[in-house]
Structures are given as C-alpha cells and as structure tokens.
Amino acid sequence: MMKKFIAPLMVGATLATGLVADDSLKAEIEALKAQMAELKKAQESINIDALSAQLSEVKAHSAGDNIKWDIDFRTAYDMIEHKTTAGYVPSFTMAGGLPGMFTPVGGEARTEKNAIWTNKLILGMAAQPVENLVFKGSLGFYKAFGQSNIGSTSMFQDFDWYINQKPQADNSIRLREAYFLYFGQAGDMKYTASFGRRPSTDGFMINLREDNVYPASPVGHNINMEFDGASFKFDFDKLTGIPGLYFKLCLGRGFSNTLGAYSMSTNATFNTSYADDGENPDMDLAGLLIQAYDDGQYKVMANVFQGWNMMGMGMDITVNTGDMSFTMAPNGFHDVGDMAGASLSLQVNGIGNEINDFLDDTVAFASYAMMKTDPNNNAVNNFLAANPANQAALDAMLGGMLGGLTPAELANLQGAGMLGSQDKETGYSYYVGVNMPGFMESDRIGLEYNHGSKYWRSFTYGEDTLAGSKLATRGDAYEIYYTLPLVAKNLTAQIRATYFDYKYAGSDTFFGQTGNPAGMMGVMPYVEEATNIRFALRYRY
C-alpha cells in the first residue's frame, strides 16, 4: 500500500521540477536574445573601414618606427710584401745631377714584408617611417690586433676618403654611411633623391671580389672611395622600353675649404671661424652614372665625371746655407688642376643560354676607363733658409742656380703640374674578371686582371686591399680568390691573392708631384712589385 502511494509522489515531483527547469531555461534564452540584440546594435554602429585603417596605421608605425640593424664582421690575416726600385734620393750639392743643384744619391733596392691580423666590423642600419622615405647608414670599425704604431708613423692613415677601409690606430667606431632616399614618381618615370654620406665603396664589379651580393652605387673601376654629396636618379625603362635604363646625377665634395672654430694662424692669433683659408680650395666632383641596359643577364654601366681643384702635396725644402744640406717636409695640400674621366663596363650574369649549369652560374665582366688632367701649373714647393736671416741670400743664390734648368726641370723642382707633368695627360685602364662556381654546392672562384697606363689615375682610395689599390696600378695587377660558405650564408671563409707589377711610380697617391710616373721629383724610388695574400672569416646577419 505504501509503495503505491510513493510512486505517484515521485512522478509528480519530477514533473514539477521539469516545469520549473523549463521556465528557467526559457528565461535564460530570452536574456541571451536580449544580449545578442544589444551586441548586434553596437556592432552596427562601428565603422569597420575606419577601424581597419587605424589598425594598418598602428602596424605600419610599429614596423617603421625603429631602426633595423645588421652585422658584417670579418677577421683577416694579411701577408704583405713590397719590392722597391733602387731609385735615387736627391742630395743638395753644387756639382753633378741636375745642372748646378742635385747630385743623385743611390738608394738600394729593398724588400719589405709583414703579416698582420685585423678585425673589421660594419654595423648597418635602416629605417622607413613612411613608404616613400628611407634612411640608411652604417658605422665602421677596422683595426689591427692590439696596440700599433700606425698613428705615429702614417700621415694620411685616417684620411676621410678611406677612413673605414684601412686599419686604424684606435678602437673608434666611425661613420661610414648616412643618407636618406626619397622616392617619387612623375607619370611613368620613377625617381629618387638622396643626400648624405654616400654608399660609394665596393661598387659595380668590385662587389664580386668582396663577396657582396649587391654592388654600391658607383662603377668600381674608377670610383671606389668614401665621400659626401647627393644623387638624383631617374628611371627611363618604362618610358623607353629599354630594360633597366636609368640616369643618376651624382654630386660630391672631397675637400671643404674652411677653418674650424677658434682656429689659430701661424702667428698664434685667432682666425674667423669657418672662414676660407685660401690655401686648400674646395675639391668637388660631378658625375653622371648611366645604366644603359639590364635584363638580368646582360648589364651595361657607364659613367662620366668632372673633378675640380684636385689636391696635390706641396713641400717645404729647408736649406742650411752653411753646408748646403737640406730637409724636406710637406706643407699641406694645394690646388693643382682639374680632371675628367669616364668608363664603360659590361657584366654578364650567366654565359650563353642554358648551355650547362657551370656557365649558367658564371659571371664575367669587362671594363674600360680613361681620364685626362688639366693642370694649372701652380708652384707648390717653397725653398726656405734654415736661418730666416739668410732667406734673401738663399733666394739670390737659387735664382742664379735655377737659371740653368730646363723649364720642365724647373717646374718639377717647384712641384708644378699634375702627376708630374705640366701638360694635359691622358691615362687609361682596362679591367676583366670572372666569378664562377667552385668545387662544392655554393663556393665561388674568381679571377681578375687589370692594367693601367703611365698617367692612369683612379679614385679608388677606398679599395680594401692592404698592399694598395690594385685598380690604381700603373702596370699590371693579377688576382685570384676562393670563397667558401661554412654555415649557410652567415659564416664564410675566403682566401685571396693579389699581385701588383708596377711599371711606373705614383699609382696610389694624390694628384700633384707625388703622382709623377718617374718618382717624386723624377728621381725618388718607388714600389715596383707587391703581393697581398689574405685569409679571412666573415660573419653576416
């Protein structure tokens, strides 16, 4: 009887609970519907396009509002050897040699050898705050291991044209590049404008021996040095249908004629700050770089340039009127004239058309360059009496002695002319090379040769070869190199051997009497052979 009573109660309780649960569920569903309607209404009020634009702006700002850094570090061991000619050193006497003045004193031929370790670091940086404006720069460090006597024995070791391309005497990090690029477009013609310290070392063709994928701006055959200036590039490929055609106007200044703040004169008085000092005129360069054709396989580059107020060293020749001995010391730079030049270069990336894998992956190039001097024939050497009281007597004596010299001998003695000549001289150079696959998957072998004539003069002071610029050689230069990736492209090894066979003096100096093909003043000894063998490890990221 009890069981019959309990069973109906349980069924009733279950039904009651189900009804309550059903009412609660309905209430929750209604609440969710209300919330969804509220969210939908709020969503409809949002401007999706505006929000998307804001997000894009935030992303662009986040990506561009910083400087991107990269690292290029090299440790190298260079073995260097120079052989000099016997030559002569002028001696101030009264008999023999040049009429009435110089007796040549024999200088013995000699061989100099050394081997040094160096570290070279380049810290690259780039920033792009907006789409059409880019900043690029790099900092450089280049030094021999440990302490050295470079600073105390070298007059021009830290010259601005190559300060990051030659080992220095300290651990300073120096500015190598700093410039901005503005990108614009006029119809179908794209253009760029750029100002600053230029990317002007390791340029076209030179990048292969340096194992750099992309060349810098100039044609490396005749211009390879650090300088400040501007460039304006105009792309004509779409307008003309000629692949890769562009023109780039380049303007640079190699020497600024100015005194510093609180500068002192020879009589210990202050000069006006940043005034024209009158002794070292501004040295300027204007050039037109032309990429005449580039379809990915064949690339033709040319340049023409004009340089004004080329720099030459003057000498103070101090004479002891008692025993007629003398000493010589540089008296600074002087304007020795102007110079023009040009080059035409062809590079082939892949020889033939799918002949075989080796030729497809071979790069070959050939280049011809020339230049011409226009000397002003200003005398830059001074003859000074050791005792200033004897200057008038020395001038009178020299006036009589120099009367027996030919005009050319007298001009050489006075340091007049360019490259040791008072006439306009033309020099030329040709340069060929090949970069080809090696023995393994990604290694490379390179062979290069260049020749320079008697009066050849290049702007290749920034070439990274410790024995001197091979492309400045008046004579013949031969080079072979082998590059091997060790850890992908991040760590590579290279061995490079360069041999210089000089036919003339003055291959890698300034533009005045130090560039005389016969040796300074026509008699001084010069290097006739040089060798540079380099073993290097390079890390890049």
Average pLDDT over residues 459-466: 95
Average pLDDT over residues 135-154: 91
- Record the pTM: 0.83
List all residues 6 or more positions away from 245 whose beta carbon is below 8 Å from its beta carbon. 235, 236, 237, 291, 292, 293
pLDDT at 437 over 80: yes
Give the model's confidence band at 56: pLDDT under 50 very low, under 70 low, under 90 confident, else very high.
low
Give the model's confidence band at 110: pLDDT under 50 very low, under 70 low, under 90 confident, else very high.
confident
Token reading at 60: 């662009």
CA distance 174 to 279: 28
pLDDT at 12: 47
The DSSP result for 479-533, as a single string, is EEEEEEEEETTTEEEEEEEEEEEESSS-TTS-SSGGG-TT-GGGT---EEEEEEE
Q: Where are the domains of the chain?
A: 75-540
List all residues 6 or more positions away from 517 whose beta carbon is below 8 Å from its beta carbon. 419, 420, 454, 455, 474, 504, 505, 506
- pLDDT tens per residue, range 473-498: 999 999 999 999 999 989 999 999 99
pLDDT at 335 over 50: yes
CA distance 396 to 94: 15
Q: Among 413, 384, 379, which residue's Cα sits nearest to residue 319?
A: 384
pLDDT at 1: 45
- pLDDT tens per residue, range 267-302: 677 888 888 877 778 999 999 999 999 999 999 999
Question: CA separation (Å) from 26 to 16, 17, 29, 33, 356?
Answer: 16, 14, 5, 11, 79
The number of beta carbons lying within 10 Å of the beta carbon of residue 355 is 10
Fold annotation for 75-540: Porin (2.40.160)
Q: Could you give the residue ranges of the DSSP H alpha helices within 321-454?
A: 357-360, 391-402, 407-414
229 by DSSP, 3-state: which?
strand
Give the model's confidence band at 431: pLDDT under 50 very low, under 70 low, under 90 confident, else very high.
very high
Phi and psi for 67 in degrees, rounded to 5?
Answer: -105, 130
Percent pLDDT > 70 in the chain is: 85
pLDDT at 92 over 80: no
- Pairing label, strands 382-385, 298-320: parallel
Which of the residue ranges 26-40, 238-252, 322-336, 391-405 has the most confident prediction, judged by mean pLDDT? 238-252
The one-character DSSP state at 459 is: B
Average pLDDT over residues 173-200: 95
Token reading at 18: 């189900």
pLDDT at 53: 62
Q: Of 6 and 303, which is predicted with more confidence?
A: 303
Give the model's confidence band at 57: pLDDT under 50 very low, under 70 low, under 90 confident, else very high.
low
Radius of gyration of the chain from its Cα atoms, rounded to whole angstroms: 35
pLDDT at 9 over 80: no
pLDDT at 4 over 50: no
CA distance 485 to 340: 41
pLDDT at 192: 97
Token reading at 249: 């106007």
CA distance 69 to 283: 33
List all residues 6 or more positions away from 335 whose beta carbon is below 8 Å from its beta carbon. 280, 281, 309, 310, 311, 312, 376, 378
